[in-house]
C-alpha cells in the first residue's frame, strides 16, 4: 500500500472538514425511536453502509479516477478508459474545448467528467435536504483541501452554488494526497460508519468501548463495501451504484425542519 | 425591579456620556474584524452580543455568527430583542461539540462569516458567539482576530483563580453580572486580584448589562481593536483566506 499515513490522516475524524457537526441521519433516527441501543445502531450502520456508504464511496473513487490521469485503466471491453470521461456530444464541454483553458485538454476532460459525476450523484439523492448537506460538506472539505494542497486543481470541480458534492471533493482530495481510488473508497466507507457511531455515543450515551467493538465487527463489511465501490467506479458515471433508503430521505427532510437540532444532518 | 446596590468604588467602572461619541471616525474598511465571544453556559454571552449590537447599530456594519447548541435560540433572542436585523445573524450547528466548531474544525463558522459578507456586502465587525462550554474552550486564531471570554460573578468568585485558556489568555476577560455580586456572596475584589494574577497585563472589564445595557466599555475596547485592525490589514481579504 502506498501512502498509509496519508490514508490515516484523511480517515481521521479530526481532519477539519466539519464531520463533527453531522450525525448523517442518526439524530433523526434516534428521535423517531428507530435507534435506541447498540443493536439498533448496528442495524442502522449496516443499512447506511449498504446505501449511502456504497454510493458515496463509488462516487469518491470515480472522482479520484477522473482527477488522476494515471489511474484510468483499459476497461474489460478493451476500450480506452478516457473515452467515457469525454463529455457528451454537443455539451458545453465540447464547445469549451475549442478555447484554451487552465489544465488544457486534459483539464477539460476532467471538468466534464466531474460535472457528469455531480449530476449523477444529484440524481441519486432524492432528498433536497440530503443534497444540500452533501454540498455543504463538500464545501467544508474543499476549504480544507485548498488550504492543505494549494497546488491541486480543485477548480475543475463544478461550480454549484451550494458547493460540490462531498464525495467528489473527497476524490480530488484523495488524489491530491496521493491515494488511489480504492483507498479513497475506503475513506468514504469508513466515514459513513464512524461519523454516525460517534454521534450515537454523544446522543445516546452509549458505552464507547461497546460502540468501538461494533465498529470492529463492521470493519470487514466496510472493506467489502469499499472494494465493491472501487470496482463500480470503473464503470461509466450512469452505471455507478444507486442504492437508496427512502426512510432515511424522509427522516432527512423532517430533520431539516426541526427548530431545535444538535446536528447539521 | 432590581434592588438598589451600592457602588463598590474599588471596582473600576465608567459612566460614558450618552449620545456623545468620543472617538475619531475610523479609517476605511479592511476585512471585517472577527471577535470571538466565549464562556461558560449562562455567563451572559448572548446578552453581551445584544448589548454590543445596541452600541454599534448606527456605527458599524455588523454581522453575528452564533454557535449555540440549540441552533436558533440565540439568534431568536437577538431578533426578539430587536437589536439586530435577522439577516445579519447566522447560526451554526455544532453536533454537541461547541469547542470543536470554534477551535479544531472551524470550516462551518468560516462559511457562515463568508455567507454574511456575500449576502450583506463588506462588514466592519463580525461577532462569533460560541456555544456555552467550560473554562477550557478557546477560539482558533484561524477563525477570530480577537477573543473575549465571559464569566459571571454568579458562577463563583473562584472562577478567575481556576484559570483555563479562556481566563488566562483571552484578549479581554469580562466579569459579568456585577450587580448580582452582593446577592450571591461573590467578592469582586478577590476576582479582580485573581484575574490580574492570571492575566498579567491583559485587560479585564467588570460590567453589569443591567446597569449598562450598551456594554460601553467592552464596545470601547472593540473600537480600539478595530482601529488597530484597520491599520494592520488595509487590503480587503475574503474571510477565511490567509
Domains (ranges, CATH) in chain A? 4-257 (1.10.4190.10)
B5 within some domain = no
Mean pLDDT of chain B: 84
Residue B200 has pLDDT above 80, yes or no: yes
Q: Which residue has the cell 490521469?
A: A69
Is residue B223 pLDDT above 70, yes or no?
yes
Chain segment B52-64, per-residue pLDDT in tens: 999 998 899 999 9
Q: What pLDDT score was predicted for residue B85?
A: 83
**CB B20 within 8 Å of CB B104:** no
Check whether B136 has a pLDDT greater than 90.
Answer: no
Confidence of residue A72 (pLDDT cuts 50, 70, 90): very low
Lowest pLDDT segment from A78-82, A110-114, B82-86, B214-218 = A78-82
The C-alpha atoms of residue A173 and residue A158 are separated, in whole angstroms, by: 15
Nearest-angstrom CA–CA distance, A133 and B206: 42
B178: cell is 456585577
Enter the C-alpha cell of residue A166. 462531498
Q: How far is A98 from chain B (nearest CA, A)?
A: 33
Query: What digits encode the pLDDT tens for the residues A14-40?
Result: 999 999 999 999 999 999 999 999 999
With cut-offs at 50, 70 and 90, classify the pLDDT of residue B196: very high
- pLDDT over 70 for what percent of chain B? 80
CB contact at 8 A, B195 and B173: yes
Q: What ipTM score was computed for the predicted complex, to two decimals? A: 0.77
- pLDDT over 90 for what percent of chain A? 77
Q: How far is it, in rounded angstroms, from Cα B209 to Cα A55? A: 53
Q: Report the pLDDT value the prediction gives residue A2, as an integer from 0 to 100.
A: 73
Whether residues A264 and B93 touch (CB distance < 8 A) is answered with yes
Which residues of chain B lie closer than 8 angstroms to A199, CB-CB?
Answer: 95-96
Contacts of A136 in chain B (CB under 8 A): 111
pLDDT digits (tens, 9 = 90+) for A145-176: 999 999 888 999 999 888 999 999 999 999 99
Q: Tell me the CA end-to-end span of chain B in Å, nearest whole number.
A: 49
Residue of B nearest to A146 (CA): B241
Report the interhelical angle of A166-176 vs A54-67 (nearest 10°). 50
Closest approach of chain B CAs to the CA of A9, in angstroms? 14
DSSP, collapsed to helix, strand or coil, labels residue B127 as strand
- Does residue A106 have a pLDDT over 80? yes
Q: Calculate mean pLDDT across residues B19-24.
A: 58
Which residues, 6 or more positions from B3, have their beta carbon under 8 angstroms from its beta carbon? Answer: B183
Q: How confident is the model at residue A88 (pLDDT cuts 50, 70, 90)?
A: very low
Q: What is the pLDDT of residue B4?
A: 56
| Phi, psi at B33, each rounded to 5° | -70, 130
Which CATH number do you get for residue B206? 3.40.50.300
For residue B119, which of B77, B46, B65, B49 has the smallest C-alpha distance? B65
Compute how many other C-beta atoms are within 10 angstroms of the C-beta atom of residue A90: 8
Per the structure, the count of domains in chain B is: 1
CB contact A21 to B (< 8 Å)? yes
- Going by pLDDT thresholds of 50, 70 and 90, the confidence category of residue A260 is confident
Domain range for B101: 33-232
| B155 occurs within a structural domain | yes
Q: Identify the bridge partners of residue B128 per DSSP, sorted by sequence position.
A: B36, B65
The predicted model gives B148-165 an average pLDDT of 90
Report the residue of B69, B70, B103, B107 to disrupt the A interface, i.e. the one with the largest count of A CBs within 10 Å: B107
pLDDT of residue B7: 58
Contact A66/A108 with Cβ under 8 angstroms? Answer: no
What pLDDT was estimated at residue B16? Answer: 56
Has B40 been labeled as part of a binding site? yes
The C-alpha of B86 sits at a distance from chain A's nearest C-alpha, in angstroms, of 16
Q: Is pLDDT above 80 for A202? A: yes
Q: Helices A166-176 and A104-124 sit at what angle, rounded to 10 degrees?
A: 140
A178 pLDDT band, cuts 50/70/90, is: very high
Give the nearest partner residue to B95 out of A23, A139, A147, using CB atoms: A23
Tens-place pLDDT, residues A124-151: 999 999 999 999 999 999 999 999 999 8
Q: How big is the CA angle at A91 (ends A236 and A85), to the nearest 5 degrees?
A: 25
The answer to whether residue B109 is domain-embedded is: yes
Tell whether B217 is covered by a domain.
Answer: yes
Is residue B14, in this structure, part of any structural domain at all? no
Amino acid at each position: 500500500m502506498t501512502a498509509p499515513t496519508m490514508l490515516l490522516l484523511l480517515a481521521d475524524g479530526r481532519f477539519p472538514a466539519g464531520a463533527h457537526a453531522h450525525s448523517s441521519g442518526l439524530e433523526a433516527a434516534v428521535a423517531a425511536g428507530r435507534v435506541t441501543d447498540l443493536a439498533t445502531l448496528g442495524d442502522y450502520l449496516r443499512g447506511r453502509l449498504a446505501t449511502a456508504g456504497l454510493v458515496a464511496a463509488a462516487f469518491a473513487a470515480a472522482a479520484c479516477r477522473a482527477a488522476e490521469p494515471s489511474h484510468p485503466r483499459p476497461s474489460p471491453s478493451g476500450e480506452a478508459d478516457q473515452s467515457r470521461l469525454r463529455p457528451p456530444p454537443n455539451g458545453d464541454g465540447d464547445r469549451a474545448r475549442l478555447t484554451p483553458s487552465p489544465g488544457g485538454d486534459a483539464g477539460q476532460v476532467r471538468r466534464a467528467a466531474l460535472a457528469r459525476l455531480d449530476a449523477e450523484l444529484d440524481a441519486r439523492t432524492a432528498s433536497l435536504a440530503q443534497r444540500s448537506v452533501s454540498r455543504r460538506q463538500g464545501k467544508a472539505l474543499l476549504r480544507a483541501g485548498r488550504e492543505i494542497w494549494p497546488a491541486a486543481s480543485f477548480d475543475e470541480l463544478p461550480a454549484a452554488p451550494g458547493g460540490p458534492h462531498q464525495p467528489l471533493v473527497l476524490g480530488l482530495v484523495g488524489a491530491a494526497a496521493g491515494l488511489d481510488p480504492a483507498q479513497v473508497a475506503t475513506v468514504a466507507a469508513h466515514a459513513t460508519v464512524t461519523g454516525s457511531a460517534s454521534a450515537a455515543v454523544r446522543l445516546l450515551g452509549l458505552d464507547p468501548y461497546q460502540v468501538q467493538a461494533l465498529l470492529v465487527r463492521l470493519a470487514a463489511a466496510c472493506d467489502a463495501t469499499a472494494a465493491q465501490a472501487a470496482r463500480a467506479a470503473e464503470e461509466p458515471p450512469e452505471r455507478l451504484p444507486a442504492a437508496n433508503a427512502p426512510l432515511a430521505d424522509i427522516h432527512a427532510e423532517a430533520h431539516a425542519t426541526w427548530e431545535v437540532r444538535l446536528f447539521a444532518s | 425591579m432590581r434592588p438598589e446596590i451600592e457602588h463598590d468604588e474599588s471596582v473600576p467602572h465608567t459612566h460614558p456620556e450618552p449620545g456623545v461619541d468620543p472617538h475619531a471616525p475610523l479609517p476605511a474598511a479592511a476585512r471585517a474584524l472577527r471577535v470571538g465571544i466565549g464562556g461558560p453556559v449562562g455567563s451572559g454571552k448572548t446578552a453581551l452580543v445584544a448589548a454590543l449590537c445596541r452600541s454599534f447599530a448606527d456605527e458599524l456594519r455588523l454581522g453575528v455568527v452564533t454557535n449555540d447548541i440549540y441552533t436558533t435560540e440565540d439568534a431568536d433572542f437577538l431578533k426578539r430583542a430587536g437589536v439586530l436585523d435577522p439577516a445579519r445573524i447566522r447560526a451554526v450547528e455544532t453536533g454537541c461539540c461547541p469547542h470543536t466548531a470554534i477551535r479544531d474544525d472551524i470550516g462551518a463558522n468560516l462559511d457562515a462569516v463568508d455567507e454574511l459578507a456575500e449576502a450583506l456586502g463588506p462588514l466592519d465587525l463580525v461577532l462569533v458567539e460560541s456555544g456555552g462550554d467550560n473554562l477550557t474552550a478557546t477560539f482558533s486564531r484561524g477563525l477570530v482576530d480577537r477573543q473575549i471570554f465571559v464569566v459571571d460573578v454568579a458562577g463563583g468568585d473562584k472562577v478567575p483563580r481556576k484559570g483555563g485558556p479562556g481566563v488566562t489568555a483571552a484578549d479581554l476577560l469580562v466579569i459579568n453580572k456585577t450587580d448580582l455580586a452582593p446577592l450571591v456572596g461573590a467578592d469582586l475584589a478577590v476576582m479582580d486580584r485573581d484575574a490580574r494574577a492570571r492575566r498579567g497585563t491583559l485587560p479585564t472589564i467588570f460590567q453589569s448589562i443591567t446597569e449598562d445595557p450598551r456594554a460601553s466599555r467592552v464596545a470601547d475596547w472593540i473600537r480600539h481593536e478595530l482601529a488597530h485592525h484597520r491599520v494592520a490589514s488595509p487590503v480587503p481579504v475574503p474571510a477565511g483566506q490567509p
